[in-house]
Amino acid sequence: MPERYPVWESLIPPSEYGKPERHAVSAQGTRVRFADGSWALCATSGLWNVNLGYGNRAIADAVGESLNTASYLSLFRGGHDLAVRAANALLAVCGPEQYGRVLFSTSGGAANDAMMKLVRHCQALRGEEPRRVVVGLKGSYHGLTYGGFSLTGEELGQRGYGVDQRAVRHVGHHDEVELETLLAREGHRVAAVVLEPVLGSGAYEVSDRLINALGRLRAEHGFLLVADEVATGFGRTGPYFASQDWPVRPDVLVTSKGLTNGTCAASAVVVSHEVCEDFERADAVLVHGETQAGSPSSCAAVLAMVEEMARLEAVELAARNSARLGKLLDRLTAHPMVTGHRGRGCFRAVELTGRSAEVMAVARRSGLIVQPGPDCVQLVPALTYTEADFEELEALLVSTLDEVAA
């Protein structure tokens, strides 16, 4: 048998597997060390999920303690204390006046799968005619599991994988016109409208026009409003959750990336009191469950993350670092390869004249980790970045762009 590299690495071809310069061996603070001995400044917070930097001791200790106390407990047909405490902590930061219950899951994609089941079941409980259509945004990203992949508004080969998108629609994020047109045609079939406050793939902000129209359209057409805050939560874009600044509160909020600071596979679907009441009136069972969802270790990580966010005053810290990042990006627009920037908070994108994949590769060789977007490179630094980190980030970006331009 041939000697084969054992890990199926994501989103690269097999010919690229196992490269020492991309094989990480450790991480601490804002830096990652690789098998070739190099260190790199991380400008992506892992996969946008390590909001408080690598190696947070309080979160690691909480996970370790939970594994010694109860290495595994299930939420199938029962519960456990850490899950209740984690849910209460999460409700407290999401807004207990609006939200009443938490459905734990294991990833952003899996949570979006569960959310799509939940909103369709809720509409059935309300006695409506069949409402199975879920509306997302063009260019959005909701994961690569089958449900989340169907809702993702970026073309990533869904048809080739047999992903069923017959009950999914996509509209633009620039204003409310496309959504209004869709609802006028088939609003009676729409179970939910799902928005990322900032689109995950390209860091495009959803327009105020669209957000301001949601309350009126929801009242008129009866859909549930879902905020997919997998990427934008935990201080990433300003407030604790971006939708807390909306004039209308969502019926459902989905969160994942910052939920455990990247330490555990965890996500959550946070459900409004009104939706909880729909299930309670019928004493209805949502047919969903995941073996590792709400495990003691992941719930301990959620609790510790919420406590660390408070201890570090991370939302306030993120606001200061957002201002630093904004000034850095303004200076960067003087470079001939840069056409502008977009995004919000510590979730930004540098718009380029092209060659984003090449910029990413050169940056990595220079000691900087960034991710490419459709016409950009994304900058998603940890909320704990220091002034020295930002100075290094700017110097590495400028030298990278100079090298690619040359």
Confidence of residue 322 (pLDDT cuts 50, 70, 90): very high
Class of domain 14-55+313-405: alpha beta
Interval 269-280 mean pLDDT: 98
Task: Give the domain ranges of the chain.
Answer: 14-55+313-405, 57-311
* Average pLDDT of the residues in 324-347: 96
Per residue in 348-400, pLDDT tens?
A: 999 999 889 999 999 999 999 999 887 899 999 999 999 999 999 999 999 99
CB 219: neighbour CB atoms within 10 A?
10
- Asked if residue 52 has pLDDT above 90, the reply is yes
Confidence class for position 200, pLDDT limits 50, 70, 90: confident
In terms of Cβ atoms closer than 10 Å to its own Cβ (0-12, 13-18, 19+), residue 215 is middle
Give the pLDDT confidence of 65-91 residue by residue, as tens digits. 999 999 999 999 999 999 999 999 999
Measured between alpha carbons, how far is 172 from 2 in angstroms, rounded to an integer? 49
pLDDT at 159: 94
| Architecture in CATH for domain 57-311 | 3-Layer(aba) Sandwich (3.40)
- Split at pLDDT 50, 70, 90, the class of 94 is very high
Average pLDDT of the segment spanning 41-65 = 97
Instruction: Please report how many Cα atoms fall inside a 13 Å half-sphere around the Cα of residue 238, on the Cβ side.
Output: 13
Q: Which two tokens stand for residue 202?
A: 């390209």
Convert 73-93 into a string of H (helix), E (strand) and C (coil). Answer: CCCCCCCCHHHHHHHHHHHHH
Tens digit of each residue's pLDDT (9 = 90 or more) over 1-38: 888 999 999 989 999 999 888 899 999 999 999 999 99
- Give the pLDDT score at 241: 98
Mean pLDDT over 227-251 rounds to 96
Average of per-residue pLDDT across 192-221: 95
> What average pLDDT does the structure give for the chain?
96
